[in-house]
Chain A
């Protein structure tokens, strides 16, 4: 039973570790390899820890029966050549782990390289060759690869040689095992090359050369002993090419349905009845937002703890009454968790970490109405804060309004001025304004940023001993130059911290334009820490 439970766990680690280790195939082997220093043998290209029967294989992947059987059929009986396969399907549908487990079941030698860790052609080529030549990076060889190869042409030659020696060795082994009856774990004389995460190749520098090359690799090599399997998150039609390339045989992994997800989550649960009643309540809303196993797992595992809170003993079988009680208990949390658990990885990390606390408490409501004041969780000089705010203002407000906003009174009395226009033009303006907001931050030249910076910093009050240079507004020449150098330094550090990004240069003026990358709540937070009345200066408010 314990063995049957593990594949589920394995699967998750395989997937996540495929982004961290060069080849997840060797995850299990790494420890073994490091401990024994003797040279690798052909057997190391097979996952040989334990054998796994077809029944177990199918059971360990719920709702992957069709795909597993199809893949096994396509791989065929021993020593049958194979045209390249293209395994594709959405993220977290078990492509990699299924393929690897199938090879574990078949006990055939394979080479696995992922294009995430092998992030350029050279590393990909060398990783394949290293595995094929049974070479291991260690201290003695200075962690170098077996062969140095950068160009596809060298790679093809080296791969051809390596494959032929390897296949010779396989045949030799077969011969030996036949005569001596020594337990050889390798079966067959095919070697399979698995290239994972192929979609990443499209972002490589020379992807226009490398992709057709990889797709044509089988035809170029002309070695029927090599099987080629591509694994990709996107379908074949997303790989564009000028003159086309040899297409491969597609195998599709569909996303899991609700029932499949339930089956997956029900695996290895200590209290299946309780968990099933929990899933009854929880799974549907999450399933409507995403169908990815990893996302849903992350979302519901803390929820289950909440679900079990009112229970003294988590081992009980819930009756209708407890179920109702638990449902009442959990219901308010569901919608809250729905909002909170999906963090967006693409946003700048600093911003995310800064606003995380808030989203935890309130979710994203209308920005700008934070009542609970949170401190910034990182330190920044006052000068930099002012600079950040002025950058935000410059990005946010149209340049034509600067004069009226930052007049000598500090923009306190300019609100009434705008109320004269008719209803219709107001509406028009409103929609335009909204569009501007949706379009995101605009760009601005350095001069404008500095002007706004001077205006707002001259309005604010300073306590003595502040770290900003004293700004009087009417400053002398000596002060002016000091400010400029300091501010420019601050600006460049803000740029490198990704608070302000450098946009393209304006074709007419030629100067570099900047853009603020901070969100509104972040800017408001910074403003609050300075006690600066930012909302007053915002055009739309």
Chain B
């Protein structure tokens, strides 16, 4: 169990002592789910895991006092950041005064000016120096170089964590260049760790940057079937040595293990991982499950898992279709017919013409006036079932701008079929 939960759980339990064990259990499991460091702590044991590899890379460059760089690649929600944090936590305990960690995020600091400023800020914070907001890019760059040198002399390693690494590789890559160059030119000790969900992140680098980057890569993959099962137990089972009443914990865990053994539950997990087997997906699923827990009995049931699955797996387009009014459906069908005819021009006027011809041939009960249809047309635009083909032509009024349909024919068909009290489908 990670340090974070250990430190926070007594506080929670103390405050909630007067609440029912079911609620306490819910809060505990929810805080576990919301803490990726806890979730991924089970992957830290086996020797061939990414955890041990990463730890070896960093600790060897720590002890050998050399520069290093590594990329952590893999799809979103596979625990790249979490594993790195676990490693750093461990290393900070092992070598307390030898590490300072600088964390940057490509979403926030992809601009080189901003990135250097943030580095200076974090360095200042770490070493109790005064940070000036007004410092220029040049000042900050010089500060970083001298800090690297000083830290190198003091045998202290600076670890740069660059989350969303691919975003740093946009544009001129000035920041990456100045960082990697600073590491080369002086007797510094620094480790650069890039984290990216793009597997080709190292191919994005310019030549001058790439030549300064070591090509160590660690690949993170979604958990396998067995790992998923281990994760489930790891997250959901209540600890036996805690403040919960003993009978409650046993009842809870026994019920849960029984569910895990059920083949229906296995089917649920299969459907879940069929669409997306990352831990993030599992995390959302479990959060929803735990939220649905019956607080009276305080036990999870198979129904909870089923309900969570249905809330997680949604078909937004079909939902929106079900929300459409009949006139809006008419317009969609008209659009589809125009597409089927391969008519080039598809704007509101063309739709109205088609609508009139449908009305004439099928003798539908109501024929709505043009401005009512225009209103419905705009609702469809708002619902994003149709959209304008181009973003230009703001001067032109909506009736003339060409539109395209954003749902496929089978989707529309399914939507119409499931629509309650749908009139004759002239489709």
Contacts and interface: CB of A to CB of B under 8 A. Distances in A.
A246 B76 contact: yes
A438 B26 contact: no
A344 B12 contact: no
A153 B371 contact: no
B264 interface: no
B33 interface: yes
Nearest to A434: B353
A395 to B, nearest CB: 11
Contacts of A247: 280-281, 284
B374 to A, nearest CB: 5
B358 to A, nearest CB: 15
B35 A224 contact: yes
Contacts of B384: 234-235, 238
A439 B415 CA distance: 30
Interface string A80-91: 111100001111
B76 A343 contact: no
B202 interface: no
Interface in B344-391: 345, 347, 349-350, 353, 366, 368-372, 374-376, 378-379, 382-384
Contacts of B410: none
Contacts of A454: none
A438 B314 contact: no
A-B pairs, top 9 by smallest CB distance, nearest first, are A440-B400, A501-B395, A235-B316, A438-B349, A255-B323, A153-B108, A339-B369, A342-B375, A81-B34
Interface stretch (A49-57, A284-292, A311-319, A444-452): A284-292
A21 interface: no
Nearest to A364: B370
Contact of A76 (B26, B105, B398): B26
Contact of B284 (A83, A285, A348): A83
A44 B427 CA distance: 55
Contacts of B375: 289-290, 295, 342, 344
A138 interface: no
A434 B322 CA distance: 34
B214 to A, nearest CB: 23
Contacts of A220: 105, 107-108
Contact of B197 (A243, A252, A291): A243
Interface string B104-138: 01011111001001100100000000000000000
28 contacts: A74-B288, A74-B291, A76-B27, A77-B16, A77-B19, A77-B23, A79-B27, A81-B35, A83-B33, A83-B283, A153-B109, A213-B108, A237-B317, A238-B384, A247-B284, A288-B325, A289-B372, A295-B375, A339-B368, A347-B397, A348-B397, A435-B345, A438-B349, A439-B400, A440-B349, A440-B401, A502-B395, A515-B396
Nearest to B383: A90
Nearest to B287: A83
B341 interface: no
B327 interface: yes
A346 B398 contact: yes
B114 A515 contact: no
A248 B76 CA distance: 13
Interface in B284-332: 284, 287-288, 291-292, 295, 311-312, 314, 316-317, 319-320, 322-328
Contacts, number: 208
Contacts of B312: 249-250
Contacts of A78: 16, 19, 27
B323 A90 contact: yes
A504 B392 contact: yes
Given A235-B316, A243-B197, A249-B288, A440 B396 contact: yes
Nearest to B76: A244
A246 B345 CA distance: 39
Contacts of B288: 74, 249
A437 interface: yes
A114 B376 CA distance: 25
A151 interface: yes
Contacts of B109: 153
A70 B34 CA distance: 19
Given A76-B27, A237-B317, A517 B396 contact: yes
A254 B366 contact: no
A338 B27 contact: no
B287 A249 contact: yes
Interface residues on B, range: 35 or more
B150 interface: no
A243 B169 CA distance: 14
A255 B324 CA distance: 8
B181 interface: no
Nearest to B105: A220
A236 B319 CA distance: 12
A131 to B, nearest CB: 22
A333 interface: no
A80 B374 CA distance: 47
Given A247-B284, A338-B368, A342-B375, A290 B325 contact: yes
Please classify the interface of chain B as helix (H, G, I), strand (E, B), loop, or mixed, using the class held by over half of its residues.
helix
A180 interface: no
A364 B397 CA distance: 17
Nearest to A514: B395
Q: Which of A245, A250, A288, A437 has the most CB of B within 10 A?
A: A288
Given A79-B12, A504-B392, A344 B378 contact: yes
A193 B170 CA distance: 31
A250 B108 contact: no
A346 B347 CA distance: 15
B184 to A, nearest CB: 26
A339 B15 contact: no
A152 B107 contact: yes
Contacts of A348: 397
Interface in B194-211: 197-198
A216 B107 contact: yes
A244 B197 contact: yes
Given A338-B369, A441-B400, 6 more contacts: A152-B107, A153-B114, A220-B108, A243-B164, A246-B280, A289-B327
B212 interface: no
B152 interface: no
Contacts of A435: 345
Nearest to B4: A224
Contacts of B401: 440
Contact of A364 (B111, B366, B371): B371
A343 B319 contact: no
A328 B311 CA distance: 47
B117 to A, nearest CB: 8
Interface in A159-215: 174, 209, 212-213
A82 B8 CA distance: 15
Contacts of B316: 88, 235-238
A292 B15 CA distance: 45
B396 A82 contact: no
Contacts of B15: 79, 174
Interface string B1-39: 000000010001001100100010011001101110000
A295 B376 CA distance: 11
A47 B395 CA distance: 43
A224 B320 contact: no
Contacts of A363: 369, 371
Contact of B322 (A243, A254, A345): A254
Given A79-B16, A151-B114, A339-B369, A73 B399 contact: no
Contacts of B35: 81, 224
A339 B347 contact: no
